[in-house]
């Protein structure tokens, strides 16, 4: 019986050494952590020319959830007005325009937060 060819894995190959200063190493570690990767995985991806996609910042996700809730409440107000409920008789067309304007402003705010998540951070 022939001996099966041994599978080559990364652990069985020679590692690449990179000499860097402590602050450079710290920066690489921070960038890897921001991307949700190990240093090895991060450097392997960057070295092969892949664009690194980072993990989503939890604070920005909380902001988007809050904005989404605001949109839901505003949409609920608009829906309530459209049901011809007697409690909404006091709503004027001006009130509805203000609600629609607030919905539009909130959508723009949500778009701005989403853009911060999608665009690469240059400040790091």
Residue bearing the bigger pLDDT, 6 or 119: 6
pLDDT of 118: 65
pLDDT bucket at 3, cuts 50 / 70 / 90: low
Whether residue 120 is predicted with pLDDT greater than 80 in this model: the reply is no
- Rounded to whole angstroms, the Cα distance separating 55 from 67 reads 20
pLDDT bucket at 53, cuts 50 / 70 / 90: low
Whether residue 91 is predicted with pLDDT greater than 60 in this model: the reply is yes
Structure tokens at 121: 């951070």
Beta strands (DSSP E) in 20-98 are none
pTM here is 0.43
Residue bearing the bigger pLDDT, 34 or 121: 34
**Is 10:41 a contact under the CB 8 Å cutoff?**
no
pLDDT of 20: 92
């Amino acid at each position: 019986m022939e001996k099966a060819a041994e599978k080559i894995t990364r652990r069985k190959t020679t590692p690449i050494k990179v000499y860097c200063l402590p602050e450079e190493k710290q920066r690489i570690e921070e960038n890897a952590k921001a991307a949700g990767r190990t240093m090895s995985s991060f450097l392997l991806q960057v070295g092969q020319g892949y664009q690194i996609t980072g993990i989503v910042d939890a604070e920005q996700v909380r902001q988007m959830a809050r904005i989404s809730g605001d949109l839901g409440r505003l949409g609920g107000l608009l829906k309530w007005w459209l049901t011809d409920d007697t409690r909404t008789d006091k709503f004027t067309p001006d009130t509805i325009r203000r609600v629609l304007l607030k919905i539009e402003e909130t959508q723009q705010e949500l778009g701005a937060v989403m853009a911060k998540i999608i665009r690469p951070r240059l400040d790091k």
